[in-house]
Amino acid sequence: MELAVVGAGYVGLVTSVCLSEIGHHVTCIEIDKSKVDQMKKGISPIYEPGLTELMVKNINSGRLSFTTNHLEGFENKDVIYIAVGTPENEDGSANLYHIDEVARIIAKNVNRDAIVVTKSTVPVGTNDRIQKIINHNISSHISVEVVSNPEFLREGSAIYDSFHGDRIVIGTNSEKAAKQLEEINKPFNIPIFITDIRSAEMIKYASNAFLATKISFINEIANICERVDADIEQVSYGMGLDSRIGPHFLNAGIGYGGSCFPKDTKALIQIAGNVAYDFELLQGVVNVNRKQQRILLDKLCDRLGNLKGRKIALLGLAFKPNTDDMREAPSIFISNELVKAGAIVYAYDPIAIDNAKQILDSSIQFVYSIEKAIEGADAALILTEWDEIKNMDFNLMSSMKHPLLIDGRNCIKIKDLNSYQIEYHSIGRSIVNSLKLEEVCQVGERK
Ligand SMILES: NC(=O)c1ccc[n+]([C@@H]2O[C@H](COP(=O)([O-])OP(=O)(O)OC[C@H]3O[C@@H](n4cnc5c(N)ncnc54)[C@H](O)[C@@H]3O)[C@@H](O)[C@H]2O)c1
């Protein structure tokens, strides 16, 4: 089928590549010319495992192309996907500027009947709004049907998820549109759930809110475990054995970040608020997540006291492993607080340094190895569980001023530390090689 995708970000580019891989002809339209120039040369503007290879393969097969020109991109297309960003407004609601803009652009540039498919995460009622904007601006002889098709991919495994997802949700009241979307997605061989538009929009927010709830829940349990000498790893495992609970999203740590959970939870609170419903549970989830990012800092201050002049190494900056995405990464808040406290911050990430440089404080020293980050450091904080960080050589820590490792992702196996003199703190697990209180007080003034 002839398809267009508007937006070549984490969702739009992956969608374009995967739809072309299953045999469709896809034109991906992106307003950022520098991205289009890169993609035309086979260079992906984002880091996503396996993306470049699949992108180059489909460019070479003639099924995938890129343009900045909407008119050219929509020519002869049966279906147009919208995959532009829906960032957060100051009040937490979803910003629909790009969505509205694309709806107007579609109306003015399509020259035949088409289906418009919204992949972007949009509040309930937005697809009706897109339909209205298009109907209002389009020539009377062309008809466009708007369908909701929320995206569930995870950054870091987006290509895998596109071919192995649990479900494809299609929201439409039109049988014809449903059939066409089923036909497009058939080669993915993933169960398709067809529902009405508003329920499809809600499924996306409810799913993200539920997963965020699991994370905040297990983080609260971890904080209690620390106080009652229980081990969160054991607790999560034991809980996850219950098929009603399941093992996923029960890893305690410094909380969720990224481009979806933080904004989508707040947007759902707003969506509820707009209909005079106070979503208290979800507000609690958001508050717990905010509090959780402080936890490593509290552990660090408890241990070192005043942080002024202390060298602190940050290991991992991206919001999760296998991505270069820094949006809402816990490293942003944590590094800002460290800088405010007068610490000298050295930061390492295998992939996200270029993006991090644009967001994090200019006083931060970015280095290109774990070794360089921790050399002479008073403490090292693990913020992202990249394989390279999980499997780091603990012998390197002998170059630190204090071999103090604070793991915000519980990614180090405690038994692996047995033969090292490393003081190790994590979330909801016991401290390894902890110093006695008198020694702690000698190291630094307590806050
Ligand atoms: N990132 C994820 O993991 C993920 C997962 C599921 C759903 N989503 C949702 O998908 C949507 C897109 O997210 P993203 O992370 O890919 O965003 P992104 O910011 O990475 O990409 C959006 C792209 O759209 C382009 N764009 C904006 N206006 C345009 C226009 N008029 N014409 C052409 N291109 C235009 C931007 O330049 C940008 O490259 C959001 O609603 C997000 O909530 C994201």
The 3-state secondary structure of 322-389 reads CCCCCCCCHHHHHHHHHHHCCCEEEEECCCCHHHHHHHCCCCCEECCCHHHHHCCCCEEEECCCCHHH
- Condensed to tens digits (0 to 9), the pLDDT of residues 339-369 reads 999 999 999 999 999 999 999 999 999 999 9
- Cα dihedral value 351, 352, 354, 355, nearest 10: 150
Q: Which CATH superfamily is domain 2-195 in?
A: NAD(P)-binding Rossmann-like Domain (3.40.50.720)
**Closest approach atom of ligand 1 to CA 264:** 43
- Centre of ligand 1 from the C-alpha of residue 47, in Å: 15
Is the per-residue pLDDT at 435 higher than 70?
A: no
Query: Which protein residue has the closest C-alpha to ligand 1 atom 43?
Result: 121
Give the whole-angstrom CA distance, residue 106 versus residue 316: 40
Q: Give percent of the chain with pLDDT exceeding 90.
A: 96
- Assess whether 301 carries a catalytic annotation: no
Q: Is the CB of 29 under 6 A from ligand 1?
A: yes
**Closest approach atom of ligand 1 to CA 98:** 28
- Centre of ligand 1 from the C-alpha of residue 76, in Å: 23
pLDDT band at residue 418, thresholds of 50, 70 and 90?
confident
- Centre of ligand 1 from the C-alpha of residue 10, in Å: 6
Q: Is the CB of 94 under 6 A from ligand 1?
A: no
Distance of CA 48 to the CA centre of its chain: 12
Of the residues 259, 322, 326, which should be mutated to test ligand 1's pocket, given the most ligand atoms within 8 Å of the CB?
259
Mean pLDDT of 277-284: 98
Q: Is the CB of 7 under 6 A from ligand 1?
A: yes
Query: Which protein residue has the closest C-alpha to ligand 1 atom 30?
Result: 31
Give the whole-angstrom CA distance, residue 9 versus residue 45: 8
pLDDT band at residue 444, thresholds of 50, 70 and 90?
very low
Is the per-residue pLDDT at 441 higher than 50?
A: no
**Closest approach atom of ligand 1 to CA 263:** 43
Q: Where do the structural domains in the chain lie, given as residue ranges?
A: 2-195, 203-291, 293-443
User: What Rg do the C-alpha atoms of the chain give, in angstroms?
Assistant: 24
Q: Are 332 and 349 spatial neighbours (Cβ–Cβ below 8 Å)?
A: no
| 413: exposed, middle or buried (Cβ count in 10 Å: 0-12, 13-18, 19+) | exposed
- Centre of ligand 1 from the C-alpha of residue 95, in Å: 12
pLDDT attached to residue 43: 98
Topology given in CATH for the domain delimited by 203-291: N-(1-d-carboxylethyl)-l-norvaline Dehydrogenase; domain 2 (1.10.1040)
Three-state secondary-structure class, residue 36: helix
Mean pLDDT of 269-297: 97
pLDDT attached to residue 140: 85
| 362: exposed, middle or buried (Cβ count in 10 Å: 0-12, 13-18, 19+) | exposed
Q: Please give the model's pTM, rounded to 2 decimal places.
A: 0.94
Mean pLDDT of 230-246: 98
Q: Are 338 and 364 spatial neighbours (Cβ–Cβ below 8 Å)?
A: no
Same fold, 203-291 and 293-443: no
pLDDT attached to residue 440: 44
| 387: exposed, middle or buried (Cβ count in 10 Å: 0-12, 13-18, 19+) | exposed
Q: Is the CB of 271 under 6 A from ligand 1?
A: no
Mean pLDDT of 313-342: 98
Give the whole-angstrom CA distance, residue 348 versus residue 183: 45
DSSP calls for 428-442: SS--BSPPPHHHHHH
- Centre of ligand 1 from the C-alpha of residue 14, in Å: 11
- Take residue 156 and report the two structure tokens written for it: 């870091």
Is the per-residue pLDDT at 424 higher than 80?
A: yes
Is the per-residue pLDDT at 82 higher than 50?
A: yes
Pick the CATH number of 293-443 from 3.40.50.720, 1.10.274.50, 1.10.3720.10, 3.40.50.300: 3.40.50.720
